Amino acid sequence: MESVRMGELVVSATDGDELVAIGLGSCIGLAMVDTQAGVAGLAHVVLPESGSAGGPPGKFADTAVPELLAQLERAGAVRRRLAAVLIGGARMFAIGASLDIGARNAAAVREQLGRLGIHVHAEETGGNRGRTARIVLGSDVSSQLAGGERTSLLSLAGRTGAITGAVRGLAGAR
């Protein structure tokens, strides 16, 4: 299991790999996958905009989304086939009425995805509870509340396996 911590971003093309962002509060776990290419990536986004602030590209929505896209493309993904899943963006504390970072994070990630023409397949955001975002390559993208069950949001048990199976089937018939 590869842990994707605050501000980090991980891409994998290895079947069975598990990418996990544990304990997303106001942060967003952004999963982007190209099922056909068998490539997936997860970013743990902390804040909407980088501005003058420092930090790794995965930390801010406006730098994380382009960076995740670039790394996925280098790993063989095709932009128009990418599906995005947003998890997190909760409002855990009633502190600071004007400071709903979770909602602002979700909006900023959505805006970046829209700008780059990346399809949002599913979203599990808002509320007041923490979540864990998990990608298991070849299986699915899921969200999980503390002490709860995993909710599968996107199946990755997809075409790659099916096509391989079909080709094998033909070879066997010959």
What is the C-alpha to C-alpha distance for residues 160 and 46, in angstroms, rounded to an integer? 33
Going by C-alpha positions, the residue among 129, 126, 130, 150 that lies closest to residue 140 is 150
Strand 18-24 relative to strand 28-34, pairing: unpaired
Binding status of residue 173 toward other proteins by CB under 8 A: no
Binding status of residue 94 toward other proteins by CB under 8 A: yes
Binding status of residue 1 toward other proteins by CB under 8 A: no
Site for other proteins in 46-85 (CB under 8 A): 46-47, 51, 53-55, 59
Binding status of residue 172 toward other proteins by CB under 8 A: no
Site for other proteins in 136-155 (CB under 8 A): 146-147
> Residue 77 in contact with residue 39, Cβ under 8 Å?
yes
- Please confirm, yes or no, whether 91 is among the known catalytic residues: no
> Residue 73 in contact with residue 79, Cβ under 8 Å?
yes
Strands (E), the chain: 2-3, 9-12, 18-24, 28-34, 39-45, 83-88, 119-125, 131-136, 140-145, 150-155
Q: Which of 6, 103, 107, 116 binds other proteins (CB under 8 A)?
A: 6
Minimum distance of other proteins from residue 100's CB (angstroms): 11
> Residue 42 in contact with residue 133, Cβ under 8 Å?
yes
Q: Of the listed 27, 65, 86, 106, which one is catalytic?
A: 27
Stretch of residues binding other proteins (CB under 8 A), selected from 23-31, 32-40, 78-86, 159-167? 23-31
Which are the catalytic amino acids?
Answer: 27
Residues that bind other proteins (CB under 8 A): 5-8, 22-27, 46-47, 51, 53-55, 59, 90, 92-96, 99, 101-102, 128-132, 146-147
